[in-house]
Structure 1
Amino acid sequence: MTNGPPPSTSAGRRRHAAGADPDKRDRILDGAAEVFFERGFDGASMNDICRAAGVSKGTLYVYFADKVDLFSAIVARERDRHFAGMRVILDGEAPIGEKLAGFARHLVAILCSERVLKAQRIVLGAVEKMPELGARFFTGGATQTQGQLRAFLEREVAAGRLRIEDPELASAQFVELATAGLWRPRLFGKIREAPDPAELDRVVSSAVHLFLARYGTGEDRASV
């Protein structure tokens, strides 16, 4: 009488459902990112992506509906990796000013990095033909950056350390202040290198002081 293979055998050969293998998904994203960053959105074909990822076109479409879906997934993965540290900064025990300064430095470093700038330029080059790509790119970025910041501001308002009537507007204002004169010149090629630490500190310090002058209660004027 046989009882079949031991449980460990079937567990060791576990098969993922179609479209649910995380390793295969990452392999597709890695190959697609290589093609997109080299050729741009319009220049990247699904055949090129399949070759770079080492998968068939049928497999590719099991995981991603189309090129927009695929590029959006690449951006989302990059964003999750880059922005993971922001929550840690805002959840720490430092004074408000130091948290805001740390958040701003981290944000500017991400936005001014070569890889993120390439993704932004790809979107700008494709958005006129494919506005949905730009909308998904912008909405995802705003959710990560301003969403985390807005939640932090709401907590500080509830604790009585800030006075803010519209945390959503205030979070957008702080992002604009923190990136002023740094991100857009990098995006459009006027500045070819990432901002040096002294210039970054100057802009961030000014952003924090302006923000706290408008929304602070007087208990949050720690140096930054």
Structure 2
Amino acid sequence: MTVQQSDRDTDTATGEVDEPDRRDQILEAANECFAQLGIQRTSVQDVARQAAVSRGTVYRYFADRTVLISAAIEWGAQRFYQQVALAMEGKTTLAEQVGAMAETHAAILIDHRTRNRLMSEDAELIRHMIADGDAAVRRATAFLMPYVADARARGEVGAGVDILAASEWLARIVYSFYTVREAQSFDINDPKTVRRYVENFAVNGLR
């Protein structure tokens, strides 16, 4: 009997009941473990403990650790865009909206670096970030397209500007902050400074 199958049998014996939000509970716990331990040191048992469920429950939702990690990263990305959408509320121009996105992004990165040095020490996280790069840019592009379309309708960007291309341009700018630790003309460790930098320059090329 494999370890996973044994866990499933034990889980059934404990009488745990699936709940609609159990999957999200596990994914939230996984992201908290990533923050505390880094992906490389996070085990399925760690996630189960953090979520207050058995390891068998985790395996009922996720076939193995690799699937769990990928799902947790995707779940974390969705939470990120929820935060970004809230930060963008009330901003009246595309420059302000993308600036708010960049500020939120920078604050999250700084939190990770301060709490656990993940960006420099977790090789597994770096591998996932590189592998997920194309998907991350696609997600950010899709998220930004309605904002760019509205900005074009308001005349903030050129009437002939392609919405998809413009959204991808902005997405790549924001995503680039993942890959660097220093900047020459602004303080990358100050989210408000990052916001002002993006507000001043990112949208200019779309006019």
Specify the TM-score bucket, using the shorter chain as the normaliser: 0.5 to 0.7
Q: Secondary structure at the match of 1:113?
A: helix
Output the amino acid matched with 1:199. Answer: T
Alignment partner of 1:107 is 2:98: no
Alignment partner of 1:168 is 2:167: no
What is the aligned partner in structure 2 of residue 25 from structure 1? 23
Matches within 5 A, 1:127-146: 133-134=128-129, 137-139=132-134, 141-146=136-141
Q: TM-score by structure 1 length? A: 0.59
What is the aligned partner in structure 1 of residue 206 from structure 2? 215
Matches within 5 A, 1:135-214: 137-139=132-134, 141-158=136-153, 160-163=155-158, 164-177=160-173, 183-186=178-181, 195-196=189-190, 199-208=193-202, 211-212=203-204, 214=205
Gapped regions of structure 2 (runs ≥ 5): 1-15
Return 112-121 or 41-50, whichever deviates more: 112-121
Output the amino acid matched with 2:103. Answer: R
Cα deviation code 1:57-83 (max 9, x no counterpart): 322111112212222332233333332
Query: Distance in 1 between the 2:165 and 2:138 partners?
Result: 13
What is the aligned partner in structure 1 of residue 85 from structure 2? 87
Q: 1:89 to 1:177 in 2, by over 3 A?
A: same
Q: 1:48 to 1:101 in 2, by over 3 A?
A: closer
Q: How many aligned residue pairs are there?
A: 187
Asked whether the 8 Å contact 1:89–1:102 carries over to 2, the reply is yes
Gapped regions of structure 1 (runs ≥ 5): 1-16, 217-224
Q: CA RMSD in A?
A: 4.1
Q: Which has the larger radius of gyration?
A: 1
Q: TM-score by structure 2 length? A: 0.63
Asked whether the 8 Å contact 2:48–2:55 carries over to 1, the reply is yes
Q: 1:152 to 1:40 in 2, by over 3 A?
A: same
Output the amino acid matched with 2:84. Answer: M
Q: How much has 1:124 moved relative to structure 2?
A: 6.8
Identity %: 23
Q: How much has 1:118 moved relative to structure 2?
A: 6.3
Q: 1:118 to 1:162 in 2, by over 3 A?
A: farther
